Structure 1
């Protein structure tokens, strides 16, 4: 953060939170639970969200344009929000259709942090929609869900239905 002070706070159980750039929009700061390695579980387990002007983001835009929920060109692009209003693209985020925390907790944790399958989920344009930043962040914050730890070997064996062979 260019030598600037990073605000931190303690959670109710002593966990450390830092105000850091949001994965989907580095211009916006949000409170993120930190691990000893200085990464949030979201970043540590899933990796970053593609930008709206990345290859993945452009595929999302193409799909949304075909669906009629994106109009305009360049800086004049607008996204149709759930509120029925058009929002400038610079006020939108790449929002997951299936929340990243839900994918991690039910599937991704069995593959492991940033595994190819997890990164495939994070880089699949079918998993995203552009939505107004306030709505996206409010949805994420209001879920109240946390990332489960990576699965143990026993949990992986059960998930993948692997039996011990003697």
Structure 2
């Protein structure tokens, strides 16, 4: 059974086996969490993305690369649905969490850190993004021991902690 935890901080600084990147379909870096991960990990992440994902990645899917200069061993990239652009099928968001956990299992990762996928620039409503993450992470039956939700700000941290405690 996977334990869900939450921390407030910088996802790039998490000492876990794998960090999840909220990527875009092109898999070439971007803004927000994606940009922060590429900056922290260095050029090795982009080079691995180009090699492993020459045609990008579909919304709801996930794949891995090196974590470059970060403490984590891997970055698991997942492409969340863009709510602002009309991609509002919650199953796509659920798939991001599930596929990321499946990739972590394949890699042998026991600890994984997630951002709130699609809740930033893609505009997914924060309360539902938190509920979705907690539901999918809580239902996962695999070898991942800890799934950590990393909140950048205090308010989001408090919202995630409250949802985990409702559980």
Query: TM-score w.r.t. structure 2 length?
Result: 0.29
Ranked by relative contact order (alpha carbons within 8 Å, sequence separation 6 or more), the top structure is 2
Q: If you compute each CA radius of gyration, which structure gives the higher value, 1 or 2?
A: 1
